[in-house]
């Protein structure tokens, strides 16, 4: 083993190799050409300064932590955890990787992939959004326990509650990230760049892709709309009636958003004071309409 000379710079293990350290028993060397990325992998692999550091670490020390893969029917391997190490190993000129082969179904692989990558120090909103979406959908399919109740209010926990507890987010914040997956890529990029706040991006996500495209143009041409402006527009104008022109007018304050139509609501308890409980809703509606017609006829006769 080589001795360190005085003043020699000691290279520490890359943070990427310290984030997820599985049990290395059962490690085998796999040809890099036989490994392919996880389908729809939501985490970005960037050629940045951290990648350069990882490449240098691999050149000097090799791969210290085995990657996790699963074997497919063609005797190839799908990467579960270790995409950055795979990319760095290719740059470093390695031909094989130390790997642990796991037997997993699709949903188990998704959950393992997401959990191993969520340990990264910095994640973009888009990375959180799509990783949460993938894990959320996998948990739904696996029918995670939904009979757990909150000690505070006794309500049943939703999948978003369970996922939130696992990733350290509130249920509402998890749902906000899930909504971001409905954004067009151009708007999502602005969220990643911190030009659009997450809460504004969430409100944008409720519009159709066509309207989102106009909103993106407005962001570039004029400014980033405020949350309340988008909320008022969405609640006050049917999306089928929104054009690019009136969208700009509304956001520029030149055209007021019409007030939402006022609704009259009759609760079931209130109606039960006047109708038998066994009477169906359509029957009640017919009687109410009939009485209103008679009332209107009486008013017309008075006039």
- The whole-angstrom separation of Cα 18 and Cα 32 is 21
8 A C-beta contact, residue 224 and residue 251: no
Q: 282: Cβ–Cβ under 8 A, 6 or more apart, which residues?
A: none
Adjacency order of strands within the sheet including 28-31: 28-31, 96-101, 67-71, 77-81, 35-36
- The whole-angstrom separation of Cα 197 and Cα 226 is 9
CATH class in words for 15-106: alpha beta
The one-digit pLDDT tens for each residue of the chain (303 residues) are 344 433 443 343 444 444 444 555 689 999 999 999 999 999 999 889 999 999 999 999 999 999 999 999 999 999 999 999 999 999 999 999 999 999 999 999 999 999 998 887 789 999 999 999 999 999 988 765 444 444 444 445 688 999 999 999 999 999 999 999 999 999 999 999 999 999 999 999 999 999 999 999 999 999 999 999 999 999 888 999 999 999 999 999 887 766 545 557 777 777 888 888 778 888 888 888 888 888 888 887 776
């Amino acid at each position: 083993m080589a001795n360190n000379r005085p003043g020699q710079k000691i290279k520490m293990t890359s943070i990427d190799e310290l984030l997820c350290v599985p049990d290395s028993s059962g490690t085998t060397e796999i040809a890099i050409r036989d490994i392919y990325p996880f389908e729809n992998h939501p985490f970005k692999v960037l050629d940045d300064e951290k990648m350069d550091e990882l490449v240098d670490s691999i050149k000097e020390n090799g791969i210290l932590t085995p990657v996790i893969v699963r074997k497919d029917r063609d005797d190839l391997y799908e990467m579960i955890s270790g995409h950055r190490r795979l990319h760095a190993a290719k740059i470093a000129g390695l031909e094989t990787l130390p790997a642990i082969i796991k037997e997993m179904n699709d949903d188990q692989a998704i959950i393992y992939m997401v959990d191993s990558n969520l340990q990264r120090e910095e994640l973009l909103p888009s990375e959180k959004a799509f990783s949460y979406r993938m894990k959320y959908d996998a948990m739904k399919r696996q029918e995670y326990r939904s009979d757990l109740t909150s000690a505070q209010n006794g309500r049943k926990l939703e999948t978003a509650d369970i996922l939130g507890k696992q990733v350290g987010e509130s249920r509402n914040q998890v749902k906000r990230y899930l909504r971001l997956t409905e954004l067009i890529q151009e708007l999502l990029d602005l969220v990643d760049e911190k030009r659009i706040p997450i809460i504004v991006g969430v409100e944008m996500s409720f519009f159709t892709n066509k309207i989102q495209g106009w909103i993106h143009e407005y962001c570039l041409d004029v400014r980033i709309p405020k949350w309340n402006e988008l909320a008022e527009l969405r609640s006050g104008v049917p999306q089928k009636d929104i054009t690019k022109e009136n969208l700009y007018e509304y956001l520029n304050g030149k055209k007021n958003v019409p007030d939402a139509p006022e609704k009259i609501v009759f609760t079931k308890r209130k109606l039960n004071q006047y109708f038998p409980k066994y009477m169906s809703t359509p029957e009640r509606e017919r009687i109410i309409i009939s009485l209103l017609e008679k009332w209107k006829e009486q008013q017309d006769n008075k006039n």
